[in-house]
Structure 1
Amino acid sequence: MLVDVFNMEGQKVKQVELPEAIFAAPINLDLMHQAYVRQMANARLGTHDTKTRNEVAGGGRKPWRQKGTGRARQGSIRAAQWKGGGRIHTPHPHAYTLSMPRKMRRAALRSALSVKASESSIVLVDELAVAEPKTRLMAKALNTLVGDASALVLIPQKDSYENVILSTANLPETKILLASYLNIRDLFKFDKVVMPLAALDVIKSYLG
């Protein structure tokens, strides 16, 4: 699959071959959905908590005697039916973690990248760099490359890309991500995927 490579001014400089094993893989919707559900579930903290009747303060004394009052028997004013009492069948801290084999996770990424490639949503640049950390410089470059579309910008490493990271921080429809941290949620959250050739090499190294 031949795709064009642009410079930061939006000019075509050459073409490169995208590996079909990554960018023309079979599209498995069920696998992508499973990977997405796993990622969202693993992002949950699971720290929600409510108090049971054993944890609510007070209620140590029986509110009235068992028999002879004409009222229903009660053992504690902190039982669930009382105002201020404990709660039953309510959330307590637990993990939402889901597991998924690495082979399946990577196959889901290949499917997602293949979808992006089939939609011509992958934009390659020969070198991603700005002279100084200015938002307007990065905004101008991205507007040239992707127009009004939201963009996921992949970089191979943080070193030597500090200006790009700082210049992108205030762009609301853009996210900087290390190519080694590529994930299913971000791939489908943004319209376009912008990456320098060095980031493409990183993706090839673990998905190829």
Structure 2
Amino acid sequence: MEAKLYNQSGEEVGVIQISDYVFGIEPNVPVMHQAMERQRANARLGTHNTLGRGEVEGSTRKLYRQKGTGRARQGSIRAPHRKGGGIAHGPHPRSYTKDMPRKMRRLAVRSALSARHRDGAILFLDRLTFEQPRTKDMIAVLNALNLTGKTLIVLDRKDEHVRRSANNLPNVKTLLAHYLNVIDLLTHDHVVMLKAAVDVAQGYLDKPAHAVAADVSEEGA
């Protein structure tokens, strides 16, 4: 599959070959949803905590005798129904981590990439270089590419000049290709992928070589 390739001045400079297996599949919506729920769950800290009746401060003596007062019987000032008492069945520290097979995780990312490419939301850039970190330079690139709204810039490697140039822009986020995920791909209006970042992404998302060889042999047969 071919896609248009642009430079950071907004000019079309050629085409780029992209994998149908990564950018051209039918999106699997249930798997994308599962991956998104997993990512959100794994982001939860789970540090919430409440104190039970055995952990709050207070005397352990019985408030008054059991019978003969005309009032309801009471056993402890630390009971959950009393002000300042413990919390019954409250939350305690726990892990919300969910697991998901690697093949499903990668299918979810490929589905998200295919969906965004189908919608025309992915723009391929030959390279993005700045001599120094400058927010003004990043704004100039976005204007040249006619990008408005939330923009995700996918890099092949760490680049402090690019990262710091985008850092002060609330609607711009940089991400390494190794960390592509469903939430970032679906919640940004535009995805800008460097040519080198496409190679990195296809390196671990594309169909394995032995699977490609098997498909070729089946076609030949």
**Shared fold (TM-score, shorter chain, > 0.5):** yes
1:26 alignment partner, SS class: coil
1:89 to partner: Cα distance: 2.2
| Residue of structure 1 equivalent to 2:205 | 207
1:70 to partner: Cα distance: 1.5
Q: Distance in 1 between matches of 2:80 and 2:194?
A: 60
Q: Distance in 1 between matches of 2:146 and 2:54?
A: 58
Q: Distance in 1 between matches of 2:92 and 2:179?
A: 31
1:146 to partner: Cα distance: 3.9
Identify which of 184, 188, 191 aligns with 2:189.
191
Percent sequence identity is 49
| Residue of structure 1 equivalent to 2:132 | 132
Is 1:72 the counterpart of 2:72? The answer is: yes
**Alignment size in residue pairs:** 206
| Residue of structure 1 equivalent to 2:33 | 33
Q: Distance in 2 between matches of 1:188 and 1:77?
A: 52
8 Å CA contact 2:147–2:190 kept in 1: the answer is no
Structure 2 gap ranges (5+): 207-221
* 1:36-47 matched pairs, under 5 angstroms: 36-47=36-47
| Residue of structure 1 equivalent to 2:175 | 177
| Residue of structure 2 equivalent to 1:23 | 23
* 1:90-101 matched pairs, under 5 angstroms: 90-101=90-101
Q: Distance in 2 between matches of 1:45 and 1:94?
A: 8
2:66 alignment partner, SS class: coil
2:57 alignment partner, SS class: coil
Q: Distance in 2 between matches of 1:104 and 1:49?
A: 33
1:144 to partner: Cα distance: 1.6
Structure 1 gap ranges (5+): none
* 1:33-182 matched pairs, under 5 angstroms: 33-158=33-158, 161-182=159-180
Q: Distance in 2 between matches of 1:30 and 1:142?
A: 33
1:4 alignment partner, SS class: strand
Supply the RMSD in Å over aligned alpha carbons. Answer: 1.0
1:199 to partner: Cα distance: 0.5
1:98 to partner: Cα distance: 0.9
The runs of at least 4 aligned residues of structure 1 exceeding 2 Å deviation read none
1:142-180 Cα offsets, whole Å, 9 max, x none, are: 12214213210011111xx22111111001110011110
1:111 alignment partner, SS class: helix
Letter in 2 for 1:191: D
Q: Distance in 1 between matches of 2:131 and 2:193?
A: 18
8 Å CA contact 1:146–1:192 kept in 2: the answer is no
| Residue of structure 1 equivalent to 2:217 | none
1:13 alignment partner, SS class: strand
1:69 to partner: Cα distance: 1.4
1:5-57 Cα offsets, whole Å, 9 max, x none, are: 11110011110121000001121111100000000001001111111101111
1:131 to partner: Cα distance: 2.2
